[in-house]
Amino acid sequence: MVKISSSLSFFPLKNRIFSALESDPLFAHHPGEDLCREKYQELTFLRCKRLFEYDFLTQQEIMENPLRIFNMVICIGMYDWSLCLQYFLHCGVFAGPILSASKRFADFVKQIYSMEIFGCFALTELSHGTNTKGIRTTATFDRSTQEFIINTPDFEAAKFWVGNMGKHATHAVVYAQLYTPDGQCQGLHSFIVQIRDTKTLLPVPGVMVGDIGKKLGLNGLDNGFAMFHNVRIPKENILNITGDVTAEGKYSSSIKDVKERFSATLGSLSTGRILITALSTTNLKLAISIAIRFSAARRQFGPTDEEEIPVLEYQTQQWRLLPYLAAAYALDYFSKSLFENFVEFYAGLLTKQRSQRQADLGREIHALSAASKPLSSWTAQQAAQECREACGGHGYLAMNRLGEIRNDNDPNCTYEGDNNILLQQTSNYLMSWMNCIRDKAPFESPFGTINFLQDYHHILGWKFTSISVEDSMDSSVPLAAYKWLVCYLLRESDLKLSKEKQSGRSDFEAKNNCQVYYCRSLAIAFIEQTVLQRFHDYTHDPSLPPTLQPVLKNLSALYGLWSLSKHLAVLYQGGYASGEQAGRFIQNAILDLCNRLKDDAVALVDVFAPPDFILNSPIGKASGELYKNIWAEILQGSKALNRPSWWAEFCINKPVAGRLRSRL
């Protein structure tokens, strides 16, 4: 369990990072200035270099407590996600597979952390993203020269969407289908490939590399493409995590099962999904901090014409925002606990453990991260839009950052696996337990997230039992409903799949026909239940300071009931709830909890909101002086009071009405 004391221990690190960024002119904000994409990318790279100079964390400090790097990435992201991703793609996503491989890459690792080289992670292609089995780049072993030959068969197989590749990466971890001299394809493997000269940043021979263009957000990050034409790399450049080739060209792997080997090859994607869970949760925290501070200070209307009240006093505003505040707390706690789970799994990878527990850890981490990424990124995306609207016209001003948060969060729904596709992996994991459930055989998972399914048959008999609104206002109520919901959707998904197969459909068709309303809903319900379970356990822990328990329990209950309310139709459809009272209790409990939390809302966002310089939103500043802050920001703009450069087009060059009208 993530303890309050452990969270407090990172305050000195956070303050050190925030203070450094605020004091350094290179990180200064420039109100009213619109950077072109080229300039933004240059500035992002210069800032990334500066992060290396600050060296906020040493490798030793990270090894002692991996949660430090987690917190550092979040702090940098709060300032600017393009900078955060550029830094982490190099130091984490690029370096991670290299660190996991053999010790022969020790010198290479030194070059990574001294920034002698700069890396990227080249997996996806123009015609294949989520379907990584369809990757078509090839790496053919040449026995005579002891080299791999990297080739792109055609433009559709060009590496595409690769962060850092567009302008400046010198090396890439390239995923390619490995071919041995006998012509056999040994599946997807990763290789270190140099793509640019480290002294000139010009492409190396055989490589065509470039930038894919402007995106909807994150334009400080240069996403690129690359094609390879007979690019030769040393035999030693294969990242031999899952397999290797002998000098004679024979393939060997300690993992005999092909599916297990493929999963191990892409194991680093779970790291990315866990990080995206945290990044999305951070965006949720940023957006809700701005919107709640604004809502507490913004006064509109009131009981009399002379008295205006804060918009946060209105029930509608509470209902729009406070469930997202509760979600921010629940998802924040979950994302940290998931990272701690991953650290346990990763330690086993580094020590080359091959135990059954290690394999089970991998499966559970994969299932959790494949669902937590969709839940957190969708929640943050919906919250950013709701917060934008809840702040009215001021929310639409770019200076107040809600649009930037929304646009920069948007790709979290897609990269490292499309959300809807990822949910299938979680539902597959859950469906895999059905044989044990049917046979009533004992089973459990390392982190215990599926252990409640041992009571599957008993849980299916549960009913909604609350007798009042007050009785419903504890997270144990939605938690019980969620356990029933997961069991019910698991049963219905299994029955649906069986019926599809019995009707003569292939496995592919049957699974495809079981997603909407069945497997997809199952995966979502499972991850919401897991997030709620962990937050419920935390908020009901007797060791929690008594002064914090009431408000944290209210947050837990609100998150659970609000999330559950989206599944009300299924609760009634499956017979868990009946009559109008169950639905009414849940709805009224949500509104009552919002009302209870409104007076603590500002204090609750103050807990996780970064300093004003980092938050960078006039309406989200801690002072609450909305209008003074907006006015000051506008007048700081260098061109706010300037006459337009095209003034003569109005004042001198008047149009001749009808001059261009057709005379036919």
Residues identified as active-site: 416
Give strand pairing partners of 188: 177
In angstroms, how far is the first alpha carbon of the chain from the final one? 80
Residues 134, 124: Cα–Cα separation, whole Å = 10
Buried b (16+ CB within 10 A) or exposed e, 39-67: ebbebbbebbeebeeeebbeeeeeeebeb
Beta carbons within 10 angstroms of residue 320's beta carbon: 18
Beta carbons within 10 angstroms of residue 292's beta carbon: 27
Residues 42, 519: Cα–Cα separation, whole Å = 45
Amino acid sitting at position 47 = R
Residue 313 makes CB contacts below 8 A (sequence gap 6+) with 598
Q: What angle do CA 361, 366, 371 make, to 5 degrees?
A: 135
Residues 588, 221: Cα–Cα separation, whole Å = 45
Cα separations in angstroms, 210 against 85, 119, 160, 170, 454: 19, 15, 10, 12, 53
Q: Assign 164 to helix, strand or coil.
A: coil
Which residue spans within 219-315 are E strands per DSSP? 223-228, 231-234, 244-245, 251-252, 299-304, 307-310
Q: Whose structure tokens read 């015609």?
A: 127
Residue 388 makes CB contacts below 8 A (sequence gap 6+) with 287, 395, 396, 402, 403, 406
Residue 273 makes CB contacts below 8 A (sequence gap 6+) with 369, 370, 372, 373, 416, 417, 422
Token output for 291: 């919107």
Phi, psi of 26 (to 5 degrees): -65, -25
Q: Considering Cα of 491, then 442, then 421, then 330, what sign does the dihedral take? A: positive
Give strand pairing partners of 252: 244
Residues 34, 4: Cα–Cα separation, whole Å = 41
Residues 248, 233: Cα–Cα separation, whole Å = 17
| Region of 24 on the Ramachandran plot (φ > 0 left; ψ -120 to 50 alpha; else beta) | beta
Residues 99, 329: Cα–Cα separation, whole Å = 33
Give strand pairing partners of 191: 174, 238
Residues 22, 31: Cα–Cα separation, whole Å = 15
